[in-house]
Structure 1
């Protein structure tokens, strides 16, 4: 029995499912989770000493690669000063100034401890600002595990009040309405049905929790117009796309300004952190300056701020970083699609910038219903083959692949060769 298998056997006795987050479970691909011992650059090493080229990157934030020397040095310096104060620090001010200088739509920002908390707080702010209760989200878009966001997609244009988890009362989700991603008519239908009741539309500008699904031309622009016309706020959930598609995230990439934005662990260099921000007239309603209450004893943790500041400064001060990363990513994902076509398979590779995923289904894949047609059994076979060849992937069809700046063109070519070998034997 491997060390990972031994650890997993012990873990299931004390930790639900043996993991501290369901996304780490390998059950859907018929394997045992790898327990990671260390990581550096583009690689991770598990408890058995096996090293993998990492296409998960702590679910996105390791855009510079693991344990970047500058980030590590700043974290160690911050640790020497103290791990937590529960009080205001200079780094929080510096972080707020930096984010506001990078992202044009953000005039004020509040630090929190996770992407889930950021979304929950942004939705509350939108409701407080508009005096309305209903929220529109999209089937297949994940916005954390707060009660109001755990709503099943359903098969119709609108699905309201159906909890997607045990323990969530129907009353918590009765004001959450679900539309179809990339379908503006489905959004318009909800606005027509609930005139004057929609506080906000929340969307992943690039959906990355049903696999990677890109917005169709005009979709995000249409959401912006619908929200403006109806007095509702547009919330971009950039927990995944923030500071990844471009320095200013998806909103900079597509040239669209939301009213509020949520960020996740990338602003903490991978440490547990999140943030939400946007228009000053909305954000000034947040306590203690306004009536919308939101608090976090450990928000703006000094060590997390040190890590995030180091990472964001490096990204800002390296003007060609995104151009180089996205160039490598385009070649890689387009190489995957070309290999699939050459092998005579009908499968689809979606990608944008350094995000991508393969669907074992005939494309195009533009929404949740289409994503769900992917052959998850075939994904499991692909996953196992790649892992056996030291390529670390997310253990789910419906997660993204993340490339990092630490990956070389040679490493990506080698990965493509392994993928082509898989195609020959399947």
Structure 2
């Protein structure tokens, strides 16, 4: 038995499912998880000493690759000064200034410790600001595991929704409405049926939790207009995309300014972190200035803030990196598409900037209804084949490949060759 399997046998006895986050379980790819010993650059090493090209990048934050020497020095220096004070520090102010200067419409920001905490808090503030209870989210967009967001649509997207997890009271989700991403008519009809009752609309401007689904820019523009016309707070969940797709995020890419925005991942350089911000008028609702309560002992801790400041400053001063990352993703996309034609496998590649997904379906992917036509068993076989070729992909069909700065042309070329080999094997089934 290899060491990963041995560790998994121990883990399932003391950790639910043997993992601290469900996607790490590898259940959807029909195998036990590999356990990691260390990582460097574009490579990750398991406890058995096997080396893999890593396309997970800790689900996005490792934009400069693993164990970057410059960032390591920042972390060590911050560690020597203390990891938590319980009172304000200068690095919290510096981080807030960087974020508010970088992101259009984000005039004030509050640091938290996770993406879930950021989205949960933003929704609470939007409700407090508007005095309304109902919210709209989009099917396939994930915003963390707070109660009001663990829902899916019923027989249609315009109905009240049912909770998708035991432990979530029906009363908690009854105010959550689900619409179709990239379908503005579903939004208009929902707003019309709930006139004057909707506090906010929360959306991943570029979905990364049902795989990559490219946004329709007209949909995003109309969404902004309809929220303004109906006094609804528009929240961009940029926990994944913030500072990864461009320095100014989706607000810069789309030239559309939301009322509020949520961050995570990259702004902590890989350490636990989150943030939510927006217009001063809205953020002034937050305690201790306003009456909407939200607090966190470790929020804005100096270790995460120091790492985040270093990452954001580096990105600000080297924005050509975004072009380089997109070029890496484009090269993979082109290689995969060529391999699809050569092998005859039914699959499509969906890419937006430096985020990429491979779906085992023959449908164009524009939303959740297209994504779920994917053959998850075929993806499991594909994943296992790529793992044997020493390439670590997301262990689930509905996740994203993230590029990082240390991925070499050699890494990408090797990945394309392994992809063709995997496709040829799949074509026999």
TM-score range, shorter chain: over 0.9
Distance 2:383 2:345 in 1: 17
Contact preservation (8 Å) 1:135, 1:200: yes
State the partner residue of 2:109. Answer: 109
Q: Summarize the alignment of residues 140-219 of structure 1 with structure 2, pairs less than 5 Å apart.
A: 140-219=140-219
State the partner residue of 2:7. Answer: 7
Structure 1 alignment gaps of length 5 or more: none
Q: Summarize the alignment of residues 122-133 of structure 1 with structure 2, pairs less than 5 Å apart.
A: 122-133=122-133
State the partner residue of 1:94. Answer: 94
Q: Summarize the alignment of residues 270-281 of structure 1 with structure 2, pairs less than 5 Å apart.
A: 270-281=270-281
Contact preservation (8 Å) 1:161, 1:171: no
Contact preservation (8 Å) 2:132, 2:198: yes
Contact preservation (8 Å) 1:3, 1:48: yes
State the partner residue of 1:324. Answer: 324
Distance 1:392 1:413 in 2: 15
Distance 1:117 1:371 in 2: 27
Distance 1:36 1:399 in 2: 19
Distance 2:284 2:70 in 1: 34
Contact preservation (8 Å) 1:126, 1:200: yes
Q: Summarize the alignment of residues 19-34 of structure 1 with structure 2, pairs less than 5 Å apart.
A: 19-34=19-34
Contact preservation (8 Å) 2:203, 2:236: yes
The answer to whether structure 1 residue 233 and structure 2 residue 233 are counterparts is: yes
The Cα of 1:236 is off from its aligned counterpart by: 0.4
The Cα of 1:21 is off from its aligned counterpart by: 0.6
Instruction: Please give the per-residue CA displacement for 1:304-363, whole angstroms capped at 9, x wherever unaligned.
Output: 111111111111111311111112211211221222123223311100111010110012
The Cα of 1:394 is off from its aligned counterpart by: 1.2
Contact preservation (8 Å) 1:159, 1:179: no
The Cα of 1:262 is off from its aligned counterpart by: 0.4
Instruction: Please give the per-residue CA displacement for 1:43-92, whole angstroms capped at 9, x wherever unaligned.
Output: 11111111111100111111111111111101100100112112211100
The Cα of 1:159 is off from its aligned counterpart by: 3.4
Q: Which of 25-34 and 15-24 deviates more?
A: 25-34
RMSD: 1.0
SS of equivalent to 1:38: strand
Q: Which of 79-88 and 17-26 deviates more?
A: 79-88
SS of equivalent to 2:199: strand
Contact preservation (8 Å) 2:148, 2:172: yes
State the partner residue of 1:75. Answer: 75
Distance 1:358 1:179 in 2: 24
Distance 1:251 1:390 in 2: 37
Distance 1:84 1:145 in 2: 26
Distance 1:351 1:72 in 2: 31
Distance 1:44 1:315 in 2: 23
The answer to whether structure 1 residue 309 and structure 2 residue 329 are counterparts is: no
Distance 2:153 2:315 in 1: 36
SS of equivalent to 1:218: helix
TM-score, structure 2 as length reference: 0.98
Distance 2:21 2:50 in 1: 22
The Cα of 1:32 is off from its aligned counterpart by: 1.0
State the partner residue of 2:419. Answer: 419
Contact preservation (8 Å) 2:153, 2:161: no
Structure 2 alignment gaps of length 5 or more: none
State the partner residue of 1:372. Answer: 372
Q: Which of 369-378 and 157-166 deviates more?
A: 157-166
The answer to whether structure 1 residue 287 and structure 2 residue 273 are counterparts is: no
The Cα of 1:153 is off from its aligned counterpart by: 3.0
